[in-house]
């Protein structure tokens, strides 16, 4: 069973994460989640065969073809994990903050099942932050104690590449526009409390629009560029789980104002 490991590791009465069920529909979405657990890393997930094939990438994906990012394959996740953003409480597996860092669709460049079995998965991403061709190459490690879970995630040279790519400059959720600190409800968001009342209305409107776009992408796709992206991503719903307040999302301008105040 593809999701057994996922379910074994979690207690669903104590984590807000979804329980693992196999999806019936075959989709080709991808999501990258920025996850500050015991160590900061990025979870790279490809929807395939009714699950999210998942790799933990310590330094995160890069658009610079010179970067070869270590990607440790981890247990398959349920497709419903796609839009999980929020806080996994202390004491749970993977406890910490999760951000939906990028979403979109992926195109296998060949037979996906054959390529993943062979350990040479070539694909193209159509995301909000990540675009163009990539390869996930399985490393045949002879190192004693190696679990055989090590892959390399590498950007191919094409119009999507960005030499010198700096992942830290993109610390915002594509679902809610929040930084990781804001999602976690720590230090930085305390700085905002003074701005909160003014910003919350705009932020809530923004989130509502985004959520509405994701829920009924077809209805608004013709006019709204955000919803066109959401429609492309094939997302059907939004799950947002802020740490302390349901109204923690902010408008872009409020967030930038807050950042200027901090720095
Ligand atoms: Mn993780």
**What digits encode the pLDDT tens for the residues 177-219?**
999 999 998 644 433 433 443 344 444 444 444 444 444 443 3
Centroid of ligand 1 to alpha carbon of 49 (angstroms): 21
Centroid of ligand 1 to alpha carbon of 41 (angstroms): 7
DSSP annotation of 229 reads H
Centroid of ligand 1 to alpha carbon of 204 (angstroms): 28
Centroid of ligand 1 to alpha carbon of 134 (angstroms): 21
Centroid of ligand 1 to alpha carbon of 224 (angstroms): 32
Centroid of ligand 1 to alpha carbon of 261 (angstroms): 31
Q: Do 38 and 24 meet the contact criterion of CB atoms below 8 Å apart?
A: no
**What digits encode the pLDDT tens for the residues 129-157?**
999 999 999 998 767 777 889 999 999 99
pLDDT at 2: 78
Centroid of ligand 1 to alpha carbon of 156 (angstroms): 25
Centroid of ligand 1 to alpha carbon of 35 (angstroms): 5
Centroid of ligand 1 to alpha carbon of 201 (angstroms): 32
Centroid of ligand 1 to alpha carbon of 139 (angstroms): 20
**Helical H segments across 110-157, by residue range:** 112-118
Centroid of ligand 1 to alpha carbon of 21 (angstroms): 19
Mean pLDDT of 246-263: 42
How far apart CA 17 and CA 169 sit, in angstroms, is 27
Centroid of ligand 1 to alpha carbon of 33 (angstroms): 8
Mean pLDDT of 4-29: 85
What are 187's two structure tokens? Answer: 């230090």
Centroid of ligand 1 to alpha carbon of 110 (angstroms): 28
Centroid of ligand 1 to alpha carbon of 202 (angstroms): 31
**Confidence class for position 158, pLDDT limits 50, 70, 90:** very high
pLDDT at 234: 42
Q: Which of 93, 61, 84, 58 is nearest to 72 (CA)?
A: 58
pTM over 0.95: no
Centroid of ligand 1 to alpha carbon of 195 (angstroms): 32
What percentage of the chain reaches a pLDDT higher than 70?
A: 69
| Cα–Cα distance list, 138 to 32, 69, 134, 153, 177 (Å) | 19, 12, 13, 9, 33
Strand extents, DSSP E, the chain: 29-36, 40-48, 51-57, 68-78, 84-88, 96-108, 120-127, 131-138, 150-155, 239-241
């Amino acid at each position: 069973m593809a999701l057994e490991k996922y379910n074994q590791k979690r207690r669903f009465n104590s984590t807000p994460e979804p329980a693992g069920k196999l999806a019936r529909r075959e989709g080709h979405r991808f999501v990258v989640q920025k996850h500050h657990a015991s160590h900061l890393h990025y979870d790279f997930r490809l929807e395939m065969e009714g699950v999210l094939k998942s790799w933990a990438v310590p330094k995160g994906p890069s658009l610079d073809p010179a970067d070869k990012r270590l990607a440790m394959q981890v247990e398959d996740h349920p497709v419903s994990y796609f839009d999980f953003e929020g806080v996994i409480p202390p004491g749970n597996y993977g406890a910490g903050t999760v951000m939906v860092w990028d979403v979109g669709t992926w195109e296998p460049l060949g037979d996906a099942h054959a390529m993943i079995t062979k350990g040479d998965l070539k694909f193209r991403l159509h995301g909000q932050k990540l675009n163009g061709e990539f390869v996930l190459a399985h490393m045949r490690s002879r190192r004693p104690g190696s679990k055989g879970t090590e892959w390399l995630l590498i950007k191919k040279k094409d119009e999507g590449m960005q030499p010198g790519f700096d992942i830290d400059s993109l610390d915002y959720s594509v679902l809610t526009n929040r930084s990781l600190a804001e999602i976690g409800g720590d230090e930085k968001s305390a700085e905002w409390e003074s701005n909160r009342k003014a910003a919350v209305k705009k932020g809530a409107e923004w989130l509502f629009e985004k959520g509405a776009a994701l829920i009924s992408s077809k209805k608004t796709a013709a006019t709204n560029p955000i919803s066109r992206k959401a429609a492309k991503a094939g997302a059907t719903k939004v799950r947002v789980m802020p740490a302390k307040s349901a109204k923690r999302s902010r408008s872009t301008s409020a967030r930038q104002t807050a950042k200027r105040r901090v720095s």
